[in-house]
A and B are shown apart, each in its own frame.
Chain A
Amino acid sequence: MSKEILDSDDINRAIRRMAHEIIEKNKGVSNLCLVGIQKGGVTLAERLASQIEAIEGGKIRVGKLDITLYRDDLNTKVEQPVVKRTEIPCTIDDKTVILVDDVLFTGRSIRAAMDALIDFGRPAYIQLAVLIDRGHRELPIRADYAGKNIPTSFKDRVEVTLKEDTDKDKVVLISDK
């Protein structure tokens, strides 16, 4: 069974609210760098950045981070996952880096992302922004900014598609039932 839980307007409102929260919490954007986690977080990071720019002016740096090589399940997977590109556009030393991902689930990707990021330098802060927090954390990790909290069962799947990558914005909850 699959159900659309967010449409384009919902997603835009959530991104706009997160943009405001990021600006407020960090008292401006001067020291900010957004890093999207491959693959779902990259487009979201770009959208979040242009929203922040629209509110505050200026230019926000956006990077992309592939966490494949830092995953904790490489030894148990049947096949090696595809390695994607990592592009960090500036030094992250002493910056506030906001990791951006589409869905926060077990927290394991975020653990890997923090390890990957720290190989690039020593940020002053790492914060986490996600469009959907679906619960079921397996590690002590939480989001600083969440677009929407969605109760799910562990076996459900949450799919976020954005119009830059496909034809339209939507978030779909897929369950076995």
Chain B
Amino acid sequence: MIKSKHLLGIKDLTSEEIYHILDTAAGFRDVLHRDIKKVPPLRGKTVVSLFFEPSTRTKTSFALAAKRLSADFVNFSVSTSSVLKGETIKDTALTIQSLGADFVVIRHSAAGVPHFLSNILEMSVINAGDGANEHPTQALLDLFTIKTHKKNIKDLTVAIIGDIAHSRVAKSNIYALTKLGANVRLICPPTLMPAEVGKLGVEVFHSIDAGIKKADVIMTLRLQLERQSKGFLPSLEEYFKLYGLTSERLKLAKSNAIVMHPGPMNRGVEIESAVADGPQSVILEQVTNGLAVRMAVLYLLAGVRK
């Protein structure tokens, strides 16, 4: 049912493939609630992470997902490796492959690196974030979380608030949600809206109050502080004032709306603490679901044989 042995982006997946991954993840979620949180299907397989950007949660999540499937997990540490000695990405990846890895989980600041590697490698390539392009497993875990609460994704109104232009999480979620028939609203300052937004099949709002009105799902994005030196925003205080999700604003959404955040959160910048810790928040559930979804992805890709 899954056609490619690589997971490069949501863009390449059909809605049937997306639903198949989500259904499989439901089976793996059961495993996470047992005393013995380990199952044997990937015995003898090796997963290597190759992260050219800092990451704690995604890497840890993939590591645990691999281990719970009984695969071996090794982190290829870029900061202390031959990459610093001038080795090209291609050579690094081929080295990892020659060590006997079956999967490489890669994050890179440049869009398209996973795609490039998928053309030269035999092993499966999983994109764990490439520049401002995609972060497919995050979108899948978000979908899984939404589906758990709302049953159907079709016709839901999902508001995504924040730095859309720099966000691969937003990008993957937009592709995924529109594919499955949700109505997607993007809310952000004009300076943080991507140029090609017209082609995405979404509604654009510059006022948060209008954008979250009657929404079923509200996704807040991390304001990428490291990318804000270019004068997109006057100040963080002003951003919170205009675009921060507060409990007052949350009342504009449907009363059973859920609030999501991919983490790590900047409390008091994109989201108020009272909302992050409030009853409508499913932020920590997203983390648990991330494990189940990544287990499903590893399991399913292991079965694609060409």
Residues of A within 8 A of B (CB): 66, 68-71, 74, 77-80, 82-87, 115, 119-121
Please indicate the chain B residues that have their CB under 8 angstroms from the CB of A78 in the complex.
Answer: 303, 305
| CA A66 to CA B26, docked complex, whole Å | 12
Please indicate the chain B residues that have their CB under 8 angstroms from the CB of A68 in the complex.
Answer: 27, 41
Please indicate the chain A residues that have their CB under 8 angstroms from the CB of B304 in the complex.
Answer: 79
A83 touches B40 (CB 8 A): no
- CB contacts between A and B, total, < 8 Å: 52
Please indicate the chain B residues that have their CB under 8 angstroms from the CB of A85 in the complex.
Answer: 26-27, 30
Partner of B27 from A71, A86, A120 at Cβ < 8 Å: A86
Partner of B39 from A69, A80, A84 at Cβ < 8 Å: A69
| CA A66 to CA B299, docked complex, whole Å | 15
Residues of B within 8 A of A (CB): 1-2, 20, 23-24, 26-28, 30-31, 34-36, 38-41, 296, 299-300, 302-305
Please indicate the chain B residues that have their CB under 8 angstroms from the CB of A121 in the complex.
Answer: 35
Closest 8 CB pairs of A and B: A80-B303, A83-B27, A69-B39, A119-B36, A69-B41, A86-B30, A83-B24, A79-B303
> Would you give the shortest CB distance from B211 to chain A, in whole angstroms?
37
Please indicate the chain B residues that have their CB under 8 angstroms from the CB of A80 in the complex.
Answer: 2, 299-300, 302-303
* Of listed A71, A115, A119, residue having the most chain B CB within 10 A: A119
B27 touches A66 (CB 8 A): yes
**4 more CB-based (< 8 A) A-B contacts, given A74-B41, A119-B39:** A82-B20, A83-B27, A87-B30, A121-B35
| CA A66 to CA B30, docked complex, whole Å | 10
> Would you give the shortest CB distance from A35 to chain B, in whole angstroms?
14
| CA A26 to CA B131, docked complex, whole Å | 63
- What are 8 inter-chain pairs, A to B, with CB distance below 8 A? A69-B41, A74-B41, A77-B303, A80-B2, A80-B299, A82-B24, A83-B23, A120-B35
User: Given the interface contacts A70-B40, A120-B36, does A82 sit within 8 Å of B30 by beta carbon?
Assistant: no
| CA A86 to CA B37, docked complex, whole Å | 13
> Would you give the shortest CB distance from A79 to chain B, in whole angstroms?
5
| CA A83 to CA B305, docked complex, whole Å | 18
User: Given the interface contacts A69-B40, A70-B39, A70-B40, does A84 sit within 8 Å of B27 by beta carbon?
Assistant: yes
Q: Which residue of B lies closest to A66 (CB)?
A: B27
| CA A82 to CA B19, docked complex, whole Å | 12
| CA A70 to CA B31, docked complex, whole Å | 12
> Would you give the shortest CB distance from A73 to chain B, in whole angstroms?
11
Please indicate the chain A residues that have their CB under 8 angstroms from the CB of B305 in the complex.
Answer: 78
Q: Which residue of B lies closest to A115 (CB)?
A: B40
User: Given the interface contacts A70-B39, A120-B36, does A83 sit within 8 Å of B28 by beta carbon?
Assistant: yes
Please indicate the chain A residues that have their CB under 8 angstroms from the CB of B39 in the complex.
Answer: 69-70, 119
Please indicate the chain B residues that have their CB under 8 angstroms from the CB of A70 in the complex.
Answer: 39-41
Q: Which residue of B lies closest to A80 (CB)?
A: B303
